[in-house]
Structure 1
Amino acid sequence: MNKELEHKFISEFQEHQKIIHKVCRIYTNNQEAHNDLFQEITIQLWKAYPKFRGDSKLSTWMYRIGLNTAITLYRKSKRTIKTQDFDTVLHRIKSTDYDNTEEEQLKLMYKAIHQLSDIDKGLIFLYLEDKNYKEISETLGISEVNARVKMNRIKTRLKTILNP
């Protein structure tokens, strides 16, 4: 990868890395797992970046890579994440701290979300990020109608979990 592309990746990654922290928060239960998943998603983004054509927004592309990486890792390893070594350039990316002191309601919501399937977690995550159904369907590779139906079912399930 040339230096110009490398600098562009680092700049854009640092600007949008909160997306990756949010994905990690949905799919992990502790800081160590969060850090491991963050690293793995960063590596996957780095590997895929030269192929990013700009057909979608960078944030949508990052969501898709992040969610797919998290889902794939958790399915393969049954919640044990194996990490790879950083390339030397990735050491120059500074990870901003993610505030883990969420309000009690947010903690309860995350606890409820953790009980959902991997795909449902991704769907609710994008919904909570104010993505419209078109963006959700593009990111997850499902139809808009399917995204709407799944979202209604997820909302009902979360209400049941939160209000037994």
Structure 2
Amino acid sequence: MNKELEHSFVTQLEENQNIVHKICRLYTNDSDAHNDLFQEITIQLWRAYPKFRGDSKFSTWMYRVALNTAITLYRKSKRSIKTQDYEGVSFKISSEPYDDTTEQQLKLMYSAVKDLNDIDKALVFLYLEDKNYREISETLGITEVNARVKMNRIKEKLRTILNP
């Protein structure tokens, strides 16, 4: 890979790394697993980056790759996530420390969302990120109508969980 492509990737990843942190928070239970998943998603993003055509926003593409990676790894092993080394990558990404205290008021919501199935979790995450149903449907590979119907059902399920 050339330096220009590498620089472009690192810049965009640094600007959007909170997306990856939030996905990691949904699919992990401790900081070691969070860091391992962050690393694995970064590796998968780097591998896929040369194929990014720019047909969608970088963040939308990033959501899709990150969610697919998290869901795949989560399904393989619900207790621990194994990572792989990727040799030949020489860039350094400055990682912002993840501050869990800023999301304490959402702790109960995250707990309820973790009980949802993988696709529903991803849908809620994108919804909470203020993505419109078109973006959600593109990211998850479902129809816009299906995204709306699923979201309404999820809202009702969360209401039941949070207000027994």
Does 2:10 align with 1:7?
no
- State the partner residue of 1:29: 29
Question: Which residue of structure 2 lines up, in the alignment, with residue 163 of structure 1?
Answer: 163
Instruction: Note the residue ranges of structure 1 that are not aligned, 5 or more in a row.
Output: none
Give 1:62's aligned residue.
Answer: 62
Scaled by the length of structure 1, the TM-score of the pair is 0.95
Whole-angstrom CA distance in 1 between matches of 2:103 and 2:18: 18
Give 2:134's aligned residue: 134
In the TM superposition, structure 1's runs of 4+ consecutive aligned residues that sit over 6 Å from their partners are none
Pairwise CA RMSD: 1.3
Shift of residue 102, structure 1, vs aligned partner: 3.8
- For residues 1-164 of structure 1, the aligned pairs below 5 Å read 1-87=1-87, 89=89, 92-164=92-164
Q: Secondary structure at the match of 2:35?
A: helix
Q: Are 1:73 and 1:79, in contact at CA under 8 Å, matched by a contact in 2?
A: no
Q: 1:82 corresponds to which letter in structure 2?
A: K
Q: How far off is 1:90 after superposition?
A: 5.8
The amino acid across from 2:120 in the alignment is D
SS at match of 1:94: coil
Measured in 1, the distance between the counterparts of 2:31 and 2:123 equals: 23
One-letter identity of the residue aligned with 2:133: Y
SS at match of 1:92: coil
User: Shift of residue 85 of structure 1?
Assistant: 1.4
Sequence identity (%): 74
8 Å CA contact 2:133–2:148 kept in 1: the answer is yes
Give the 3-state SS of the residue equivalent to 1:89 in structure 2. coil
What amino acid is the match of 1:130?
D
Residue 91 (structure 1) shift: 5.6
Deviates more, 1:84-93 or 1:118-127: 84-93
Give the structure-2-normalised TM-score: 0.95
Q: Unpaired runs of 5+ in structure 2? A: none
What's the CA shift for 1:143? 0.4
Residues 21/90 of structure 1: CA separation in 2 closer, same or farther (3 Å cut): farther
Question: C-alpha distance in 2, partners of 1:144/1:119?
Answer: 14
- TM superposition shift of 1:78: 2.7
What's the CA shift for 1:20? Answer: 0.5
Q: Deviations over 1:122-156 (max 9, x none)?
A: 00000000000000000000001100000001001
Q: Aligned letter for 1:137?
A: S
